[in-house]
Amino acid sequence: MLSGCNDTKQASSLGEVLDSGVLKVGTTYGVTTYYNGASGPVGFEYELANGFADYLGVKLEVFPYYNLNELFPQLKNQHLDLIAAGISVSPERYQSFKFGPAYQKASEKLVFKQGNTWPRKAEDLAGELVVIAGGSHNESLTRIQQTTPQLSWQQTDDKDVEELLEQVLNNELDYTVADSNVLALMRRRHPELAIGFSISPEQDIAWAVNKEQDDSLLAALIEYFGIIQNNGILAALEDKYFGHVRKFNYVDTREFIKAVNNVLPKYQAWFEQYAGDLDWRLLAAMSYQESHWKPHAKSVTGVRGMMMLTLGTAKDLGIESRLDPEQSIRGGSDYLANILSRIPDRIQPPDSVWFALAAYNIGLGHLEDARVLTDRQGANPDMWVDVKIRLLQLRQKKYYKTTRYGYARGHEAVTYVDNIRRYYDTLVWLKEQRPEMLEEPILEPIEELPAEELQAAELTAKE
């Protein structure tokens, strides 16, 4: 790669990175790109860029900007080596930059607030439309304007996409435009964000490099993405950030956020007390998936309580009443911890946690069957993104007849884990952005059945 450029007057773009020992990556602040979390920098683009720097054997330096208008000139002036900001490869951008391999696809959506008049096409827009300056959204709207001359909008340098979406939520703005992958995450936090129509077809998402430089850095990019695509790292990262938010349920999301406000404070202290080494918010998310935080929840299969324990499991854990919320939370946490301890040590978080959650739902035996199928089919049995595909196969006779434990409703386990991940993400975000919602939990007597009625109900369940 170092000898890829024959022009001796121009330094190799890859050679400069290797000689300096630093990869300078430009990005934008955002939920899918880069931000400083509780334990340091996080974000899909950040993790990809950090992996590329490791691949080259150099240090990563991230230069985050607030909008693309500031970012692109830095690349043109060779102050950056590349841009990793989830940018779409629009025809206009393709004329100005070189792009690495596409690693995602996204379309651009016209966004309005749920409950307002639904604009189904550009002609229906009857209010203020604002988009971020310098983005492909402006280019797509310009193309639409050629057939819809009355279409008008404003651009802003002062706000990012998340701020514009919040303005729509607060009725300070009628419409904005957001990429579908960003919107998928934002709607888990703000379910009132509604999609009017697409203003562009799906476009490739890729990293940009300077068009005037040689192709040596681009060649390294191509090789890097080829490697992480083949070894499953790209798929695992994509699943980590986006795999559980592809499907959106407005009613479920709204009801969950209401329950966080109105129900969770009654039980939060117990989730914190009994979470052990787990994040209490994960335990709370799991309990919501199990029972919607209803202490007397029950299913036709006989599982009951906040954590939906079987009678046998409760007995093994020393739980006297599954209908007592504190006992149920303690029992569910102990049971999950026990399962997690039986996941092979080589499986690293967060995959080990997703495996444990799946086993809580479907059983360790069926989980192991899915891992065996994964290995047989040449995929990685230690990665959730691969194993969850084989969990779905446990419903198909040609697969389950070859397994030790046979048929299983593997699709329910996959949905179970995805839902918990969505609830957990929302709780984490609420803690970071609106901490007042998750502080000063109440630990006091709650309106429950009297003790004698709890015992009677539990006896009925045993019978």
What string of DSSP letters covers 33-87? TBEEETTEEE-HHHHHHHHHHHHHTSEEEEEEESSHHHHHHHHHTTS-SEE-S--
Catalytic hit among 45, 163, 166, 290: 290
Q: Is 144 helix (H, G, I), strand (E, B) or coil?
A: helix
Farthest-apart Cα atoms in the chain, separation:
88
Euclidean distance between CA atoms 142 and 200, whole angstroms: 11
Q: Are strands 59-65 and 193-198 parallel, antiparallel or unpaired?
A: unpaired
Q: Tell me whether residue 320 is one of the annotated catalytic residues.
A: no
Nearest residue to 155 via CA among 141, 172, 168: 141
Peptide bond before residue 344 is cis, with ω within 30 degrees of 0: no
Q: Are strands 193-198 and 108-113 parallel, antiparallel or unpaired?
A: antiparallel
Tell whether the torsion through CA atoms of 413, 424, 84 and 198 is positive or negative: positive
Q: Is 355 exposed, middle or buried (0-12, 13-18, 19+ CB in 10 A)?
A: buried
Residue corresponding to tokens 């995450």: 185
Q: Which amino acid is at 287?
A: S
Q: Which amino acid is at 456?
A: A
Euclidean distance between CA atoms 141 and 90, whole angstroms: 12
Catalytic residue positions, numbered: 290
